[in-house]
Chain A
Amino acid sequence: MKIVETKTDKFVLGGHEFNSRFILGSGKYSLDLIEAAVENAGAQIITLALRRANEGNTNILDYIPKGVTLLPNTSGARTAEEAVRIARLSREVGCGDFVKVEVIRDTKYLLPDNYETIKATEILAKEGFIVMPYMYPDLNAARDLVSAGAACVMPLGAPIGSNKGICTKDFIQILIDELDVPVIVDAGIGCPSQACQAMEMGAAAVMANTAIATAGNIPMMAQAFKKAIEAGREAYLAGLGRVIEKGSAASSPLTGFLKEKEEA
């Protein structure tokens, strides 16, 4: 058997091709560490809150290496209408056509509002944006997002910043199994092994911020994530082996009574 050449394994999103399946958040870093994180993570997409862009004397955009695709998000939006306004603003200031739609009207858990997100996605997709909606992993909502024109869906693994891992595993698996667009696991991933797990499940990519931003050594943790995501992707492509839960499996415990020839 031949090893699949991972270089030919492209991640395609809204007609754009990427080699890396790691999307890096930028919200919780010191600016001068963003560059190191991007480099060591090998990330080609980095999110950016428009509300943090253009910070007067220090502009976050200056710290993002050239050649990296900017993924502006609509954080701060509490309704579809606000998300649409922020997305339009981000396009106006030159952040491109990608937009991660986040609509949050819960300041405690920062859980996304699927209903408002679907409304915003529909409007923005019609306006030519490549819409990447952050969502709670609900199959019906995910299908509506796809019908509304989403380029992918970004279900949360756990509440944002919680580093709790993929608490919503079974529901994310359903999305992966049922949807024809890439599923990107976003939020809650606290360590490389969890990122690896998401990729093994068949996620198209993983997004993380807090886990790296709050690590002791940011560049090293970024690199650890890179390796974990690549390992998880390879495992998925290789096809995971069968897991037998308890001891050996009886060959045919229920159908053993059947005889070659039926009795008359």
Chain B
Amino acid sequence: MSSKVNESILTEEIKELQKQNRIDHMTYLPDMEVLDSDIQSQVISRMQQYDETAYTATDVRRALDADVCSPEDFEALISPAALPFLEEMAQRAQLETRKHFGNSTYMFTPIYIANYCENYCIYCGFNCHNKINRAKLNEEQIEEEMKIIAESGLQEILILTGESRKMSDVKYIGEACKIARKYFKVIGLEVYPMNSDEYAYLHECGADYVTVFQETYNSDKYETLHLSGHKRIFPYRFDAQERAIKGGMRGVGFAALLGLDDFRKDALATGYHAYLLQRKYPHAEIAFSCPRLRPILNNDKINPMDVHERQLLQVVTAYRIFMPFASITISTRECERVRNNLIKIAATKISAGVSVGIGEHLEDDEAKGDEQFEISDGRSVKQVYDAILEQGLQPVMSDYIYV
């Protein structure tokens, strides 16, 4: 596997800690549900066999000419040979996006209700060793904050916590979902992976979408980035989407955090993971996010290594061509210019009025906790709404019914 290391993440302290013994990241901890599923082994073996240098312009041409993009075509589209075809890929992606979504662009905003975390992920601002202000909103504060967000006209909310089962247990997240149902039509979750019965409970509380970032699909690299905590257990995280579907969730989201490892392999694994899950559960709605590494509090050097805008666009357009029906979210990790252009080409969902800290919509300073990463696009809901219109697109607040 790739030995690429993103030096921008590493500090002296982290380098020391990486030398210490750690628990086996491939062994499930007690209480972690184990699925009888072969999707993980299929994804990993395909990724391991992927040789990005094996593809030529002819393969890319064939992929672009094909009516339906096969996994082999997708491999060609994310290879370096496809970079010279970027404009054509963007045009094809745009065509597919319009065919499946018309000119709809969906809007949402995240709400971070707690930033306590038990994991040590060395690139993340919330990691348990990072000295930041920690906070957790109580039910009144959640309600107050949601009320303020709903006034902006948004109808879709994504509830996030740091990954601490102790500080943000399933019941607490469930209460947040119940409050959210009063103010929003669509509720998504981006919280720690859990068992299918817990997903079923949160579905009953009103949530219908679950996103889990695998960060990197290279388990050896994963091990060196997630030094402690539940998140360290690679296979449990991998199967989170499948458990969520089994728990009754309507849709699941996938992402690799681009810049942690070989981004082409990670993009391949992300796409193939989603592809196989959709084949196994054809009713499940599929979503992709395409996050690149960002600077965090106490390490402003962090950057996405070799994933520049061109590479990002290549990955996003390849996802679109491979799975034309999938939702693609573009977060505030990217700047206004990139986001405005990506919704024109392939992205179908965009956040607005974003805060990635805790309680930042509230007046009460004591409720506040520090943010997960630095955002690059601080536009308000109104500003993003108008920008969507300016592109000749249609801002859609919700296209969903809870049944």
Contacts and interface: CB of A to CB of B under 8 A. Distances in A.
Interface in B125-178: 153, 155
A78 B285 CA distance: 11
Nearest to A31: B394
B403 A106 contact: no
Interface in A50-93: 50-52, 55-58, 76-78, 82, 85-86, 89
A29 interface: yes
Decide if the interface of chain B is mainly helix, strand, loop or mixed.
loop
Contacts of B283: 78, 105-107
B278 A56 contact: no
B99 A55 contact: no
B296 interface: no
Interface residues of B, number: 27
A6 interface: no
The contact size tier of chain A is: 20 to 34
Contacts of B284: 107
Contact of B399 (A51, A105, A108, A163): A51
B403 A86 contact: yes
Interface stretch (B25-33, B101-109, B258-266): B101-109
Interface string B264-293: 000000000000001000111110000000
A82 B401 CA distance: 10
B400 A51 contact: yes
Interface in B279-319: 282-286
Contact of B401 (A51, A57, A214): A51
A55 B104 contact: no
Interface string A25-68: 00111110000000000000000011110011110000000000
A28 B401 contact: no
B317 to A, nearest CB: 19
Contact of A51 (B101, B102, B285, B398): B398
B396 interface: yes
B153 A105 contact: no
A110 interface: yes
Interface of B: 98-104, 153, 155, 278, 282-286, 323, 325, 392-394, 396-401, 403
25 contacts: A28-B102, A28-B104, A29-B102, A29-B103, A30-B392, A30-B393, A50-B401, A51-B399, A52-B398, A52-B399, A55-B155, A56-B153, A56-B155, A56-B397, A57-B397, A58-B397, A82-B403, A86-B401, A105-B283, A106-B283, A107-B285, A107-B325, A210-B99, A210-B102, A214-B103
